[in-house]
Structure 1
Amino acid sequence: MADGAATDARGNGITGVIPILFAGALFVYFMSLVPTVASLEAIRWSVPWIPSLGIEFAFLVDGLSLTFCLLIAGIGTLVLLYSNTYLAGHPQYARFALFLTAFMVSMLGLVLADDLILLFVFWELTTLTSYMLIGFSHEAEKSRRNALQALFVTGAGGLAFLAGLILLAAASGTTSISGIIAQGDGLKAHAMYLPILILLLAGTFTKSAQVPFHFWLPNAMAAPTPVSAFLHSATMVKAGVYVMARMHPAMSGTDVWLWTLTILGAITAVFASLLSLRQTDLKQALAYTTLMALGTLTLFLGQESGYAMTAFATFLIVHSLYKAALFLIVGCIDKSTGTRETDQLGGLGRLMPITAIAAALAATSMAGFPPFLGFIGKELKYAGAIAVASEPIFVAGAVLLSNALMLAVAGVVAFRPFWRGQVGTGQSPKEAPWQMLAGPVILAILGALFGIYPDLLQVALVNPTVLSLTGEVEEAKELQLWAGVNIPLFLSIATFVLGLAIYAAHVKIRAMLDRGFNAIPNLDLKWDGFLDGLKALAAWQTRLVQTGKLSSYLFATFFTIAAGIILTLAYTGMPPLAADFSDVEWKHTSIAALICAGALLTLFTSSRIAAIAALGVVGIGIALIFIVFSAPDVAITQLLVETLIVVLVAVVMLRLPSLPKATFNLKHAVLSVAVGASITLMLIEVVATPLDLRLTEYFEVTSWPEAYGRNIVNVILVDFRALDTFGEIAVVVIAALSAYALLRTTRKGDQQ
């Protein structure tokens, strides 16, 4: 069913126009950088972000990033133009435009980032903004469910990705991506190479929906159609592919890289193609073809040959053009007819001729027919498959089968709805407004234009992209419609024959696929069970941890403290205990006795007032220790706090009953001894360890010249730790306000 309100060519006023102009301005800016990048130069801009860690706010424009930027900004402009009419009159369109624009900016930041930490920031922003877009129709349970699924899967992968980036920075000694690439093969020889690769691929495979993480992507179709067009063609799902491409110079060339990307990419491409042919919903069919494209791109990134890299760069552009066009066309069909089911569509070519022509152009490029760019991309894919040194037959076979299935799906999506017999839909289909047709028409024409004049693409984007991937522009192969009679040509002919045969029998094949896939566990159907299990685990954990008893919380807290200290001391090794009591004076002994007396009284008394008073005695004893060891300012603070606490708590205690009779609790006794012993051992080790006075000396030297204060403690609190002190003051103020509000509430309750 169509998204949003009825189509209105008038759009959403200024709310709809501003995002279009913004995206268009970005596209024009990136177009202005094409001559520089086409001359094989890179543009880098950076400012220090966290200098102490060597982290920069750095951006890099080279062939790879500029190709992505042009696709993101260009398709983003057309999608926003389309959305302004497609969702005209929608009460939440301003929110939609904000989310979509933020999504576009996040993706641009991701592909331009030249720092690992900055890359991760934008990586997570794409996750969050895509979550908001997929769940835009939040009143529908399906939208909420699928948005959460996408967030959970890609977010979990993002945690692994972050760990991989941290290890990568540690192994390379820098967070600069260009700096890591400049190190050459050094990373591959590092002992941490395999853990880094596993963690990075875990993040990129979840983001780009490689098998077995593929199930979330088709469910993202719960988003409005313009979001699907943008997400599947130029943004979110290609983020993982981009990172693999960016890291290709530093991490490719090993067996684990080759086989992991080749095998999983090939499986994803073929598996998704079969699933695509099984679908009857046009959006779902296109969603699975995106998986096919992502698998193919991953497969070629596993290789190193110039043909493979040229095939990657070309197919990246080919797929973005035809996929965005076809998704937008499906939106036009959905708006006009009220359905996306292939069995309910037919005869639309006469009623929607412009849409039909745009669909034919885009689908022909998708199918790989000449003279479209899709044909050149397909020929390069076959050339790249043959150039694989390890298993060319396996790679070429996977590419051939997936291409043939894509040809059949192109016929189902773009031929049957327009040119088969008339099928009633209950509506009177008509052509969409020009704002909705502009995107599909422009993108479809570009697919044909670049096919006829491939040199335009070769010089501007393909050569610089291959340079980014290999470091040598000579590795780029020529884009040409006619490369002579060769093996790729024969494979193309085989693709056409097999694809047309599959299309002719696709209804019967679909029924066979239904029977076959029904016997395979569906990960998506397991998702709800997984969530139920996760909630049950959380409930069990809550019952176990959140007992509602203060004694349980205190026991867990002090047990953790004691265990942490004891295990740390055992791991690091305790120095020999050589206690020296020669400098112990009677005043030290008296204070210790006072503290022990207060603690024992607290333990055995049944009076709450006596207990809080005894604790006050302990606090006063600690203040006396501060005085004895020449820390009067800390002692005064301790005395004031102790006095205030004793008074306030005593007032509350007057309203409470007496404490229960003290009984011996072995568990609590053991814990108390463990805490006391661990703290004592830690203090002994601290005393036995020579003090590192570098920080002390720093404050002594800089407190007056830099902070203009002679009281070093005050300078530390007010200048060197100003934010920390401000935070402490804020906590005290908030606590005071809360106490005041609570007292006022209690007083009003007593009056009533």
Structure 2
Amino acid sequence: MLAAVLSGLIVSILYIPFGKYLKDRLSICVSFLPIALFAYFASFIPTIRDGGHITFHYPWVPSLGINLDFHLDGLSLLFSLLITGIGSLVFLYAAPYLKGHRYLDRFYAYLSLFMAAMLGLVLADNVLLLFIFWELTSISSFFLIGFNNDNADSRKSSLIALGITGGGGFLLMAGLILMGHLSGSYSIQEMLGANEYLKGHALYGWILALVFAGAFTKSAQFPFHFWLPGAMKAPTPVSAYLHSATMVKAGIYLLARLNPVLGGTDYWMYPLVIIGGVTMLYSAFHSLFRTDLKAILAYSTIAALGILVFLIGIGTPESLLAASVFILVHALYKASLFLTTGVIDHETGTRDVTRLSGLRKVLWPLSIAGILAALSSAGVPLTFGFIGKDLIYEATLHTVGVLPIVLTALALLTNVLVLYAGFLAGIKPFTGPLPQNLTQVHLPNALMWGAPLVLALLGLLFGCLPFLADDALLNPAAHAMLQAPIGTSLKIWHGFNTVLLLSGITLVSGVLLYVIRKPSQRSLASIERFNAWSPRHLFGKVAQYSKAFSRRYTHTLHNGFLRVYLLRIIVFAVLLLAFRLFTGGPIRLTLDQLSPVSVYEIIVAAILIAAIFLAVTTSSRLTAVVATSVIGYCICLQFVFYSAPDLAMTQFSIDTLTVVLFVLVLFRLPPFLNLANRLTRIRDWTVASAFGAVISLIAIQVLNQPFDGAVSRFYGDNAYTLAKGKNVVNVILVDFRGFDTLFEIVVLSIAAIGVFSLLKLRLNASEKE
């Protein structure tokens, strides 16, 4: 399992040295990876169908509660098959679609990385591991959305998407850590046993708010939905893979996975039903006014995501089964429509639906895919969408505790608008007369029209034979959401009932709307008049104000003068330490613990004070460096007096190296500029004296505290037995405090890279100005 999850990451890394060899004809070879992964996960279907589940455990950082724990059940299997199955078709589709693109190898590297991140997210059982993959999906999608990096709109869209999803991810991290801390485990399966405790805890509301923030931003729920239409600047394979079937459903997966842990309360149900309901109706309504095919599909995708949140919020067995079915239904028809749109754009050079018609005469296999996908999105009988629509109406009609009529009416209106959007994207371009300027359009590579056709035919197959996906995928997925048997089988015909009537009303109303309403640029302009009140515009205003505040803050506190930075740091440290010192209890200033002062110490202290005076009064840089080195050597002698030769040698080496480096760098510089006036000197002396006084008081206070040797004894007793080291100080630095040392090495490495970059920097005349 670990190899399967990380295989995409490994392939992505291998593209760095070998990507140039996998362009053009060989680019299709990478498609074997998702195909093999699909076959691997499909092999688990019998186990999951029989009610089993599989857990994989790989220790990683057990001391921090982080392990590579993967759990495969019905929900994770459904998503894994979607990720690898649709991924296989997208990988194959992208080879001819991006043929000849100079960054084709880079595209496949990003796509492989994203696939690995999504697989890790849906299979992770440890919430910290889930969060790592969650953030990796945001990073990889940032590169994919901004793939056309020479386009300013693509760069802006990728930054907006990263900002929204990254901000939500930060809040999600806090919520997951809080859940793990309260439940005593970061394993999702173990959290199931603590669900009642979590729901009854005083912090339960905060956990929900943080988890909702992560899920809503990732799955484009109102008011965070606007990043998804902007992400349509990405190439069509990205839109089909990320923004219909996988990444945007990561938030849906999170809510479904945590439903047994956090769900079942009013605090869980009402926010999801309200936000999901607002999102699906708002976005479906906006799809009426769009003329760009990808924009139409983007808003209908947001509406579908709102439907899924709405269904998870209801939380009944019927609604969770409807959610699991609709996840598959939507992935099949929406990915097919996106891929169809990509072919249309690729061959005609436009996505404007008002300029497209009659393409069935030149793209007839593609027209079959588009029409079948549109019929499935509409819920026409004998398509999988028909079963999905019926289940949605059953879920709303059988709702207890809220208004079933209101929820059903909301779902009905949304489905009518989604039907219109599906017909506009899947049927409108292929019907009617063929414009003269499109007569030269021809069928592209079979992989480009074959991929959407396969997805559309699967929607028809599952619609006619629903049992193929019922017990194998959908019932186990719903069971995982509820942690209880569903006991309902998918059927094509349920007899003449209210649900069938609602489905008929949906079809008739949607078809009438499609016939009566024609898309136009005028309708698009009419809705754009309200952009000033849109969430995108309001978030943009907040971003502008934040940027202005940050600029003012930076210019005030970070003005580029090192002496100002040091002054502020020291003043803050003095105030913080003094506050803690004088509020931490009685201060003991007895000097009984001090050892007698020897004549050597007096002489060294006198030299040290003289060197300090010389360093702060001289106008020569070299003199100041030499005086500073004398201070360091005096401290070395103090270490020797107190039987610490290892510290003395370390201090001696550092001081010597520092002096040499400073001399090499500063010997050609002019003397100090004497810019300080009398008030500045008084301020600096005051701050320095206060800092010295506070540190002295703390040192004396420490000397008067009772000595507890437990820590010292622990290191002394365990340094050799646990770390096999005889030097206790080295063992502490390398083993017991290894993270501190690691981070120090990282900081020094980053600083070294920065210095090296500055040394190698060559600017032309305009850049220097």
| Structure 1 residue 695: Cα displacement | 3.6
Of 151, 154, 157, the residue aligned with 1:140 is: 151
Matched, 1:503 2:517: no
Matched, 1:623 2:636: yes
| Structure 1 residue 393: Cα displacement | 2.3
Distance, in Å, in 2 between the alignment partners of 1:653 and 1:641 is: 19
Distance, in Å, in 1 between the alignment partners of 2:225 and 2:752 is: 53
Matched, 1:433 2:449: no
Letter in 1 for 2:560: G
Is the 2:362–2:439 contact (alpha carbons within 8 Å) kept by the matching residues of 1?
no
Note the aligned Cα RMSD (angstroms).
3.2
Classify 1:705/1:493 alpha carbon distance in 2 versus 1 (closer, same or farther; 3 Å).
closer
Q: How many residues align?
A: 733
Of 377, 380, 388, the residue aligned with 1:377 is: 388
Partner-residue secondary structure (3-state), 1:166:
helix
Q: Which residue of 2 aligns with 1:663?
A: 678
Q: Which residue of 1 aligns with 2:3?
A: none
1:52-71 map, 5 Å? 52-71=63-82
User: CA offsets per residue over residues 164-184 of structure 1, 9 Å max, x none?
Assistant: 122121111111111112323
Distance, in Å, in 2 between the alignment partners of 1:366 and 1:659 is: 75
Q: Which residue of 2 aligns with 1:545?
A: 557
Q: Which residue of 1 aligns with 2:31?
A: 20
Distance, in Å, in 2 between the alignment partners of 1:740 and 1:39 is: 60
Distance, in Å, in 2 between the alignment partners of 1:654 and 1:410 is: 73
Q: Which residue of 1 aligns with 2:587?
A: 576
Is the 1:307–1:476 contact (alpha carbons within 8 Å) kept by the matching residues of 2?
no
Q: Which residue of 1 aligns with 2:428?
A: 416
| Structure 1 residue 716: Cα displacement | 4.8
Of 155, 159, 164, the residue aligned with 1:153 is: 164
Distance, in Å, in 1 between the alignment partners of 2:753 and 2:210 is: 47
Partner-residue secondary structure (3-state), 2:52:
coil
Of 627, 635, 641, the residue aligned with 2:648 is: 635
| Structure 1 residue 366: Cα displacement | 0.3
Q: Which residue of 1 aligns with 2:694?
A: 678
Q: Which residue of 1 aligns with 2:337?
A: 326
User: CA offsets per residue over residues 9-63 of structure 1, 9 Å max, x none?
Assistant: xx95553222211111011111111000011111110111111122110111100
| Structure 1 residue 479: Cα displacement | 1.3
Q: Which residue of 2 aligns with 1:168?
A: 179
Matched, 1:87 2:87: no
| Structure 1 residue 575: Cα displacement | 3.3
Matched, 1:251 2:262: yes
Classify 1:428/1:107 alpha carbon distance in 2 versus 1 (closer, same or farther; 3 Å).
same
1:298-697 map, 5 Å? 298-389=309-400, 390-473=402-485, 475-507=486-518, 514-516=525-527, 518-520=529-531, 521-525=533-537, 533-569=545-581, 573-581=584-592, 583-587=594-598, 595-604=608-617, 611-612=624-625, 614-642=627-655, 645=658, 652=666, 656-657=670-671, 660=674, 663=678, 665-697=681-713
Classify 1:422/1:178 alpha carbon distance in 2 versus 1 (closer, same or farther; 3 Å).
same
Partner-residue secondary structure (3-state), 2:399:
coil
Identify which range, 684-693 or 258-267, moves more after superposition: 684-693
Q: Which residue of 1 aligns with 2:9?
A: none
Q: Which residue of 2 aligns with 1:122?
A: 133
Distance, in Å, in 2 between the alignment partners of 1:662 and 1:155 is: 47
Matched, 1:75 2:90: no
Classify 1:168/1:332 alpha carbon distance in 2 versus 1 (closer, same or farther; 3 Å).
same
Partner-residue secondary structure (3-state), 2:441:
coil
Is the 1:40–1:464 contact (alpha carbons within 8 Å) kept by the matching residues of 2?
yes
Distance, in Å, in 2 between the alignment partners of 1:355 and 1:45 is: 42
Matched, 1:263 2:274: yes
Is the 1:24–1:73 contact (alpha carbons within 8 Å) kept by the matching residues of 2?
yes
Q: Which residue of 2 aligns with 1:190?
A: 201
Q: Which residue of 2 aligns with 1:218?
A: 229
| Structure 1 residue 232: Cα displacement | 2.2
User: CA offsets per residue over residues 654-675 of structure 1, 9 Å max, x none?
Assistant: 9643674983534323322331
Is the 2:185–2:191 contact (alpha carbons within 8 Å) kept by the matching residues of 1?
yes
| Structure 1 residue 382: Cα displacement | 0.6
Identify which range, 230-239 or 604-613, moves more after superposition: 604-613
Classify 1:514/1:384 alpha carbon distance in 2 versus 1 (closer, same or farther; 3 Å).
farther
Q: Which runs of 5+ in 1 are unaligned?
A: 1-10, 746-752
Distance, in Å, in 2 between the alignment partners of 1:742 and 1:373 is: 60
Is the 2:359–2:430 contact (alpha carbons within 8 Å) kept by the matching residues of 1?
yes
Identify which range, 575-584 or 228-237, moves more after superposition: 575-584
Partner-residue secondary structure (3-state), 2:189:
helix
Partner-residue secondary structure (3-state), 2:199:
coil
| Structure 1 residue 505: Cα displacement | 2.3
Is the 1:359–1:414 contact (alpha carbons within 8 Å) kept by the matching residues of 2?
yes
Distance, in Å, in 2 between the alignment partners of 1:743 and 1:409 is: 57
Distance, in Å, in 1 between the alignment partners of 2:149 and 2:655 is: 52
Distance, in Å, in 2 between the alignment partners of 1:739 and 1:208 is: 41
Distance, in Å, in 1 between the alignment partners of 2:499 and 2:514 is: 22
Identify which range, 280-289 or 489-498, moves more after superposition: 489-498
| Structure 1 residue 507: Cα displacement | 2.6
Is the 1:609–1:654 contact (alpha carbons within 8 Å) kept by the matching residues of 2?
no
Distance, in Å, in 2 between the alignment partners of 1:371 and 1:87 is: 35
Q: Which runs of 5+ in 2 are unaligned?
A: 1-21, 762-769
Letter in 2 for 1:205: F
Is the 1:606–1:662 contact (alpha carbons within 8 Å) kept by the matching residues of 2?
no
For normalisation by structure 2, the TM-score amounts to 0.88
Letter in 2 for 1:697: R
Classify 1:15/1:476 alpha carbon distance in 2 versus 1 (closer, same or farther; 3 Å).
farther
Identify which range, 243-252 or 664-673, moves more after superposition: 664-673
Letter in 2 for 1:96: F
Identify which range, 428-437 or 719-728, moves more after superposition: 719-728
Of 102, 123, 134, the residue aligned with 1:112 is: 123
Of 57, 60, 78, the residue aligned with 1:46 is: 57
| Structure 1 residue 77: Cα displacement | 0.6
- What percent identity do the matched residue pairs reach? 40
Partner-residue secondary structure (3-state), 2:56:
strand
Distance, in Å, in 2 between the alignment partners of 1:537 and 1:12 is: 46
1:21-36 map, 5 Å? 21-36=32-47
| Structure 1 residue 705: Cα displacement | 4.5
Identify which range, 93-102 or 655-664, moves more after superposition: 655-664
Partner-residue secondary structure (3-state), 1:183:
helix
Distance, in Å, in 1 between the alignment partners of 2:721 and 2:579 is: 43
Partner-residue secondary structure (3-state), 2:444:
coil
User: CA offsets per residue over residues 561-585 of structure 1, 9 Å max, x none?
Assistant: 22332344456x1333242347552
Q: Which residue of 2 aligns with 1:748?
A: none
Is the 1:616–1:643 contact (alpha carbons within 8 Å) kept by the matching residues of 2?
yes
Is the 1:366–1:374 contact (alpha carbons within 8 Å) kept by the matching residues of 2?
yes
1:192-207 map, 5 Å? 192-207=203-218
Classify 1:127/1:737 alpha carbon distance in 2 versus 1 (closer, same or farther; 3 Å).
closer
Distance, in Å, in 2 between the alignment partners of 1:662 and 1:696 is: 49
Classify 1:59/1:715 alpha carbon distance in 2 versus 1 (closer, same or farther; 3 Å).
closer
Distance, in Å, in 2 between the alignment partners of 1:147 and 1:743 is: 32
Classify 1:654/1:52 alpha carbon distance in 2 versus 1 (closer, same or farther; 3 Å).
same
Distance, in Å, in 2 between the alignment partners of 1:731 and 1:185 is: 44
